[in-house]
Amino acid sequence: MKTAQYKWSQSEGWRPNLPTSEVGRQSVVFVFGARSLMQAGAPVGELRDHFKGAAMLGCSTSGEIVGDMVVDDSVIATLADFEHTRLRFASAAIGEAKASYDVGKELARQLNDASLRHVFVLSDGLHVNGSDLARGLAGGVSEGVSITGGLSGDGTNFAETWVIADGGAGPQRVAAVGLYGNDLRIGYASMGGWEPFGPLRIITRAEGNILYELDRRSALDLYKSYLGSHADRLPSSALLFPILVTEAKGGQGVVRTVLAVDEQNKSMTFAGDIPQGGTAHLMKTHVDDLVDGATAAAKASLSGLGGWRPDLAILVSCVGRKLVMKQRTEEEIEAIRDVFGTDTKISGFYSYGELCPFVHGGECRLHNQTMTITTFAEH
């Protein structure tokens, strides 16, 4: 696999200059950038003009990751030119969250065959139930096919998110690339670094990804009581205090963050399912714990590569981590660089949700507040 990386900024344009040479037939340009720049069109249009032989997959962000840096108001393009791996792309519109499962099934239908090894997916970050999307994808591909990716971001605005696919760019879209063949190795991992606090509460009323009541009290009022002065800045301030939810039958808990609040219905909408009858626990963290989580994710993502070093690593980290870490945000990226070394191209973005199995070989799930890493190696 050959890789190259480019960064666009308002002051400098593309650096380094975009090449004019041909790219291979099995090439993809991963594009992550601010929503305003996606809408403006010029940076993405220039990429299309220069990489005519390559497909494109990307999304809007809450911050871009390039190398060991975190930047904002930029566009990051990472070319991956595969030598032996076949690629196939799929995309679909998603009108509303309740269609998420069917959209996932449709993408899987377009991509699945006997040689499929991995699916990397990018989704609208606001009009989706990420849990249903993951279930639809996982249920439509063959056993052993891994799925990772993330939900696009919009800073802390929560207004509109964009997904870029070969057929165009815009809101309320989901796109994915399937990778095929035996010469590819994929590693992945998702780690957090948060800890629960306060009383454990029962989810007494929820529908899909909408939470109404905890312990038979208004979930929104109860949540605001914990946020205190932060309550006036909902939903963005909720990123500082996610909740750990566990189904009534037990099992692995998952972290969820708020995408929207409804003052009239006293409800909160999350990126993924909230299981009625299950439990909810508020969470908090410290910068050092988040850095430790990122390091653990990097080390775990190497386990699927069979001893090979990654050519490319795509990082999807939750915007909530960025808000907590503030000026120390780059520490989690630097920690990952220390694990991978200098030869691995690192790209990625801060998201509204992350998609990854809990364990290697498991079924894809939606996560929040994690650092999720997908590593690619081809020999």
Q: Return the closest-CA partner of residue 374 out of 119, 66, 129, 152.
A: 119
Q: Is residue 3 over pLDDT 80?
A: yes
* pLDDT at residue number 345: 97
- The count of other CB atoms within 10 Å of the CB of residue 15 is 11
Q: Where is pLDDT greater, at 252 or 78?
A: 78
3-state helix/strand/coil string of 340-361 = HCCCCEEEEEEECEEEEECCCC
Lowest-pLDDT range, 20-29, 59-68, 179-188, 361-370?
Answer: 20-29
* pLDDT at residue number 68: 93
This prediction's pTM: 0.93
* pLDDT at residue number 167: 61
The per-residue pLDDT of the chain, averaged, comes to 93
* pLDDT at residue number 22: 75
* pLDDT at residue number 96: 85
Give per-residue pLDDT as tens, 252-286.
889 998 888 999 999 999 988 999 999 999 999 99
Q: For 128-136, what is the mean pLDDT?
A: 95
Give per-residue pLDDT as tens, 195-243.
999 899 999 999 999 999 999 999 999 999 988 888 888 888 888 889 9
Q: Are 67 and 77 in contact (CB under 8 A)?
A: no
Query: Phi and psi at residue 267, in whole multiples of 5°?
Result: -125, 165
- The count of other CB atoms within 10 Å of the CB of residue 360 is 14
Q: For 85-94, what is the mean pLDDT?
A: 95
Residue 119 CA: distances (Å) to CA of 101, 171, 248, 320: 16, 21, 30, 25
**Residue ranges of the alpha helices (H) in 161-239?**
219-227
Query: What gap in Å lies between CA 361 and CA 92, rounded to an integer?
Result: 26
| 3-state secondary structure (DSSP) of residue 140 | helix
